[in-house]
């Protein structure tokens, strides 16, 4: 697939590299320096390149939105028309110092994003994982037991694309349901962040859904 990365920081940079290593064509965009985007494209080793947000979106089969909540409006403006595009978001609706969700309970960042880009197909995924673990999960992708990664959305084709990307980088995709379930996934992502960065678990903390019986 052709994947456009909107936001090439901790999440977008690592996920873009791994999508490329998994065989996808990746365009890295939206960082404060073009040099960084070019370096990521080199590190990705596959057929990856640096571009503008508009170029990242133009021919993309899927777009990863990976910017701070305060930068969403700006990156969407630069990206241009997203009609019909699959937009996978890991962007959490956080305040400026990343200490709290600014919306929740009756809506979510993913649902508010879908209202902003009504003609795109939004899937919420990857936000429940600390970025530090992506490479080691990818390295271990041939092992039998993979960590789960929950995703949700309202469009079945978009969800199938997200599930493929999740699986390609070493996780077990778990369909959590429609996009409104992001209301529960986003606070869950904060719990994972709390365990990873504030507790004594470290970022390699993983979750795996098992049946009880
Ligand atoms: N990090 C995690 O483990 C994690 C886990 C779950 C969810 N999330 C969510 O994922 C989203 C992205 O997080 P992140 O940690 O990847 O953030 P990040 O490392 O700060 O990346 C954000 C990207 O936006 C770019 N950017 C910021 N301001 C810009 C500007 N004025 N012009 C152009 N580019 C600009 C940054 O550029 P530079 O590269 O130049 O800094 C960077 O590439 C957030 O919503 C976060 O809540 C993160």
36 lines ligand 1 (CB under 6 A): yes
Distance from Cα 8 to the centre of ligand 1, integer Å: 7
**Phi, psi at residue 153, to the nearest 5°?**
175, 170
Whose Cα sits closest to atom 15 in ligand 1?
10
Distance from Cα 158 to the centre of ligand 1, integer Å: 23
First to last CA, the chain: 38
**What does the pLDDT read at residue 81?**
97
Question: In terms of pTM, does the model score above 0.95?
Answer: yes
Query: What is the Cα 113 distance to its own chain's centre?
Result: 13
The stretches of the chain forming alpha helices (DSSP H) are: 10-21, 34-44, 53-58, 72-79, 109-116, 134-139, 156-168, 182-193
What the block records as the tokens of 110 is 């993913």
Q: Low-confidence residues of the chain, pLDDT below 50?
A: none
37 lines ligand 1 (CB under 6 A): no
pLDDT in tens, 107-163: 999 999 999 999 999 999 999 999 999 999 999 999 989 999 999 999 999 999 999
């Amino acid at each position: 697939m052709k994947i456009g990365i909107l936001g090439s920081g901790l999440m977008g940079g690592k996920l873009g590299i791994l999508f490329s290593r998994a065989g996808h064509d990746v365009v890295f965009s939206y960082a404060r320096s073009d040099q960084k985007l070019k370096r990521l494209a080199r590190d990705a080793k596959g057929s990856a390149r640096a571009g503008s947000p508009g170029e990242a979106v133009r021919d993309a089969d899927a777009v990863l939105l990976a910017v701070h909540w305060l930068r969403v409006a700006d990156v969407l403006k630069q990206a241009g028309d997203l009609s019909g595009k699959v937009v996978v978001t890991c962007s959490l609706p956080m305040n400026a110092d990343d200490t709290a969700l600014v919306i929740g309970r009756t809506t979510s960042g993913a649902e508010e994003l879908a209202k902003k880009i009504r003609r795109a197909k939004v899937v919420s995924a990857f936000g429940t994982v600390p970025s530090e673990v992506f490479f080691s999960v990818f390295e271990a992708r041939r092992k039998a037991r993979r960590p789960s990664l929950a995703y949700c959305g309202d469009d079945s084709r978009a969800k199938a694309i997200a599930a493929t990307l999740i699986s390609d980088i070493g996780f077990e995709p778990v369909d959590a349901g429609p996009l409104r379930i992001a209301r529960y996934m986003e606070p869950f992502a904060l719990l994972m962040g709390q365990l990873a960065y504030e507790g004594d678990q470290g970022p390699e903390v993983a979750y795996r859904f098992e049946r009880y019986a």
